[in-house]
């Protein structure tokens, strides 16, 4: 999956996440910023002026965010390398398209992962067809992307992802914890193999040395979850954003498609 354009390449992006998105002053961001206003830390070359000290300066939220490569896609493909600073009209349209592209790229990530599991072989044709359809949408014009009902498309994709999840988790007896409130839960050394943790709130949960192999974690909130020593390498639908939001260490296993966060303990 690293060979696909689904990994952020900030060098080929016009700093879209630093402009197109809004954030509010909180534990994740030091200040308020509305949609369309460049972050004060964004330099003229579209690089972050405090990239190496984001967490120390109160911008930990920036270190968690991942666009799945949507930034460079919009910058270099949809707008053919046209800088948003060129005109207000271009900027407005680009900022409207970027969140849509980000969702499409996220779906491409999930579909690609579903295809690599031997357990989903019986539905590979359907997965490939949806992968092709979603890829075609990412290549559409800015106007078409702005009008796209991305929520409806997500629902279509989710039907396939649910089927894939059921096939991968077949044989495990772990009960469903889909959407469960597990904030601060004490799950150290928990056997969560094959668990359905879709959309579960695991904020601040103690998952030290927990076994999450084949667990479906799509949409699970892992902010500040302690995953030191946890087995995440074979978790289903784990993303860079989730890994970045958690607190792990050198013993934590993660998929080879993801990067070990710099803030994790050695």
Report pLDDT digits (tens) over 212-255. 999 999 999 999 999 999 999 999 999 999 999 999 999 999 99
Does residue 2 have a pLDDT over 60?
Answer: no
SS3 53: helix
Does residue 12 have a pLDDT over 70?
Answer: yes
Give the predicted TM-score (pTM) of the model.
0.94
Instruction: Copy the structure tokens of residue 100.
Output: 């849509």
Report pLDDT digits (tens) over 37-94. 999 999 999 999 999 999 999 999 999 999 999 999 999 999 999 999 999 999 999 9
Report pLDDT digits (tens) over 92-139. 999 999 999 999 999 999 999 999 999 999 999 999 999 999 999 999
pLDDT value of residue 175: 78
Report pLDDT digits (tens) over 162-207. 999 999 999 898 878 999 999 999 999 999 999 999 999 999 999 9
Q: What ranges do the domains of the chain cover?
A: 175-266
Alpha-carbon distance values, 255 to 3, 11, 54, 215, 252 (Å): 15, 24, 25, 13, 10
pLDDT value of residue 146: 97
Does residue 32 have a pLDDT over 60?
Answer: yes
pLDDT value of residue 242: 98
Is the domain defined by 175-266 classed in CATH 2.160.20.80? yes
Q: Are 101 and 73 in contact (CB under 8 A)?
A: yes
Write down the H helix ranges in 117-248. Answer: 124-138, 142-147, 150-169, 240-245
């Amino acid at each position: 999956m690293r060979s696909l354009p689904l990994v952020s390449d900030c060098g080929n992006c016009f700093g879209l996440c630093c402009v197109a998105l809004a954030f509010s002053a909180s534990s994740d961001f030091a200040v308020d910023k509305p949609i369309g206003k460049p972050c004060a830390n964004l330099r003229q070359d579209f690089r972050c002026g405090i990239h190496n000290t984001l967490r120390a300066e109160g911008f930990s939220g920036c270190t968690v965010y991942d666009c799945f490569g949507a930034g460079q896609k919009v910058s270099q493909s949809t707008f053919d390398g046209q800088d948003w600073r060129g005109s207000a009209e271009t900027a407005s349209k680009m900022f409207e398209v970027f969140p849509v592209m980000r969702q499409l790229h996220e779906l491409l990530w999930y579909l690609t992962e579903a295809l690599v599991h031997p357990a989903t072989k019986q539905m590979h044709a359907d997965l490939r067809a949806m992968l092709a359809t979603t890829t075609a949408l990412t290549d559409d014009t800015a106007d078409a992307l702005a009008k796209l009902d991305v929520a409806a498309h997500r629902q279509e994709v989710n039907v396939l992802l649910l089927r894939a999840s059921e096939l991968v988790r077949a044989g495990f007896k772990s009960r469903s914890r889909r959407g469960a409130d597990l904030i601060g839960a004490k799950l150290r050394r928990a056997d969560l193999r094959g668990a359905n943790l879709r959309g579960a709130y695991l904020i601040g949960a103690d998952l030290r040395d927990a076994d999450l192999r084949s667990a479906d974690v799509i949409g699970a909130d892992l902010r500040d979850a302690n995953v030191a020593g946890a087995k995440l390498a074979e978790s289903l639908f784990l993303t860079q954003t989730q890994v970045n939001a958690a607190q792990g260490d050198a013993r934590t296993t993660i998929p080879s498609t993801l990067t070990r966060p710099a803030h994790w303990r050695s």
